[in-house]
Structure 1
Amino acid sequence: MAIDKTFASAAEAVADIPDGASLAVGGFGLSGNPIQLIEALLEQGATDLHGVSNNCGVDGWGLGVLLAAHRIRKMTSSYVGENKEFARQYLSGELELELTPQGTLAEKLRAGGAGIPAFYTRTGVGTQVAEGGLPQKYDDAGNVVQASEAKEVREFSFKGKTAEFVLEESIVTDFALVHAIKGDKHGNLVFNKAARQFGPPAAMAGRICIAQVEELVEPGEIDADDVHLPGVYVHRIVEVGKDIEKRIEKRTVRAAEEA
C-alpha cells in the first residue's frame, strides 16, 4: 500500500489542532521557522497553547505571531531575547515561562521522540535549574506567583570521576511544527544548516508531526544518506515553495577594506 502523507495546504494540515494543545516548534533564531504553518494556525484560531521551542521568534515573526495574538499560554524555551512583547507578557503575568538550558531542551525533545522518559545531565547542577526557584509566572504587580521546583540530583561515576547529575524529564507534545528544505511524500526530511539544530528533535517529540517543505519530491528521490529525519516521525507534509520569505535576525555589514 502506498504511503502518501501530503496535505494540500498548511490550513488543512493544522485544521484539527485544538485549544490547549502543546506544540514542539522547530527553528533556531529565525532559521527554520515554520511560518506558513504558524500563520495558518493563527487563522485557524486555536488558543491557550503551550509552545516548546528554542525561542519564541521575534516581534511579528515566527511564534511571535501567535504570541502577539495572545494565543500562547506557556512557553518552554532556552532563549527569550529579541522579543519585546514576550518580555512584556511574561513580566506582567500574562505568560508562563519554563526556562530550560539549550542543550537540555534539545535532548528533552529528542529523548521524548526516542521513548526515553528521563535522563541525567551535568547541566544545571548547582543552579536554580536543579535547585528550583526560577520565576515561571508573575502577577500583574511583578510578584513571583509560581517558581520552578527542585529536581532530583544524584551522584554517578562517569569518565573516572564522581559528580552530581540532575534528572530531566523528556518532552512529548501533542503536535510538532517544523520547516525543512526538502521532503518526500513518505515524510523523509532534509533540513538546511541551522534549521537542523532544533528541527529534528522538535519533529520527533510531536505525537503528530506536521512538516512544511520548500520542495516536495517523490519517494526515492532523496538519497538515504541525505535524510536528516526519517518519515516514521512525520505524519503530515505540505509543500510551501522556495520563494517564501526568510528573515534575518541581525544583519552585519563588514566595512570595505582599504585599497
Structure 2
Amino acid sequence: MATKVFDSPAAAVADIPSGALLAVGGFGLCGIPDDLIAAIVAGDATDFEVFSNNCGVDGHGLGILLGEKRIRRVTASYVGENKEFARQYLAGELEVELTPQGTLAEKLRAGGAGIPAFFTPAGVGTPISEGGLPWRYAADGSVAVASPPKEVREFRGKRYVLEESIGADYSLVHALMGDTEGNLVFDKAAMNFNPLAAMAGRVCIAQVEKLVEPGEIDPADVHLPGIFVDRIVHTGVQNKQIEKLTVSESKEA
C-alpha cells in the first residue's frame, strides 16, 4: 500500500491546480497549516476559492496568498486583523461570503459527512437568509454581486434557514501529532476548525509537529481518524505567531 507520508510540504501540495477549492484549518493564527500555505505560495497555482474561519493576517498564513492576489473568493466568518483582506473586499478585487461561525463549522462538517444541506436558526430574519449581503463590490463602491435569498422553513413553531454544506478539492490542516496512517491529535484551541476542514476536502493534507508509528497514539486520544487524511508531512514544531499582542504596564515602580 502506498505511503501517506510525503518528504516535504512542496511535494504534498505539488498537484494542487489553479482554481482549486481549499478548506483551510485554523483560527486567526492558531493551528494554521503555515508550511503547506508557504509551499503553495512558492508555486505558481492561483485563483483559489478558500473556505476558512478567516484569511490569516497581513504577512502570515493565508494572508500571504491573499497579498499576492491569488485568492478569488473567500467563505469566512470574519475579516479579523487582515487589512489587505478588507481592502481587497471593499475595492471589489475579492469575492467574500461572510457566514456565521457556527454555520461555517457545520457546513464543513456536513460536507465531510456526506450531508448536502441542513436547517439552522442562525441568520433567520437577516441578510444571511433574506439575501442582499454584498459578496462583491464594484470599483465605485456599489454592490456588484449580492447573496441570494435562502429557503426558510418552520419546524415546531420556529423558523430555520437552509444552508448547503461545503465540499472542497483539497483541505490543509495542522496537527500536533499524527501517525503514518493519518490519525491526528490536535493541541487545545488548534482543534478549532482543523478537524472540520479536514473532513470537507476530497484530498486532505496534514502537516504534523510530531510523526509517530501506528499504535503509538492511544485510540482514545485520536481527534481525527486517518480515513479522512490522505497525505502527511512532518514539519516539526510550528513557529507560532501572535495575531494581536496586548501588553500592560508593570505595577512595579
Aligned twin of 1:185:
180
Q: Secondary structure at the match of 1:11?
A: helix
Structure 1 residue 256: Cα displacement: 4.5
Distance in 1, Cα, partners of 2:233 & 2:194: 15
Aligned twin of 1:20:
19
Structure 1 residue 251: Cα displacement: 2.1
Distance in 2, Cα, partners of 1:185 & 1:254: 44
Q: Secondary structure at the match of 1:178?
A: strand
Q: Secondary structure at the match of 2:124?
A: coil
Aligned twin of 1:89:
88
Q: Does the aligned pair in 1 maintain the 2:75–2:97 contact within 8 Å?
A: yes
What are the superposed Cα offsets for residues 7-53 of structure 1, whole Å, 9 maximum, x if unpaired? 00000000000010000000111101101000000111110000100
Does the alignment pair 1:248 with 2:242?
A: yes
Aligned twin of 1:234:
229
Distance in 2, Cα, partners of 1:248 & 1:224: 32
1:46–1:222 Cα change, 3 Å: same
Q: Does the aligned pair in 1 maintain the 2:55–2:79 contact within 8 Å?
A: yes
Distance in 2, Cα, partners of 1:86 & 1:204: 26
Q: Does the aligned pair in 1 maintain the 2:22–2:172 contact within 8 Å?
A: yes
Does the alignment pair 1:169 with 2:164?
A: yes
Q: Secondary structure at the match of 1:251?
A: coil
Structure 1 residue 141: Cα displacement: 1.2
Q: Which segments of 5 or more consecutive residues in structure 2 lack a partner in the other structure? A: none
Distance in 1, Cα, partners of 2:40 & 2:57: 17
Distance in 1, Cα, partners of 2:80 & 2:173: 21
Q: Secondary structure at the match of 2:6?
A: coil
Q: Which segments of 5 or more consecutive residues in structure 1 lack a partner in the other structure? A: none
Distance in 1, Cα, partners of 2:123 & 2:60: 30
Distance in 2, Cα, partners of 1:172 & 1:27: 17
Q: Please tell me the residue identity of whatever aligns with 1:110.
A: R
Q: Please tell me the residue identity of whatever aligns with 1:8.
A: D
Structure 1 residue 252: Cα displacement: 2.6
Distance in 2, Cα, partners of 1:176 & 1:250: 26
Which of 215, 219, 239 is residue 214 of structure 2 equivalent to?
A: 219
Runs of 4+ in 1 over 6 A off after TM superposition: none
Q: Secondary structure at the match of 1:146?
A: strand
Q: TM-score, normalised by structure 1?
A: 0.95
Q: Secondary structure at the match of 1:165?
A: strand
Equivalent residues in 2 for 1:109-128, closer than 5 Å: 109-128=108-127
Does the alignment pair 1:104 with 2:103?
A: yes
Distance in 2, Cα, partners of 1:106 & 1:84: 24
Q: Please tell me the residue identity of whatever aligns with 1:144.
A: V
What are the superposed Cα offsets for residues 47-73 of structure 1, whole Å, 9 maximum, x if unpaired? 000010000000000100000011100
Paired positions, count: 253
Q: Please tell me the residue identity of whatever aligns with 2:107.
A: K
Structure 1 residue 194: Cα displacement: 1.3
Q: TM-score, normalised by structure 2?
A: 0.97
Aligned twin of 2:73:
74
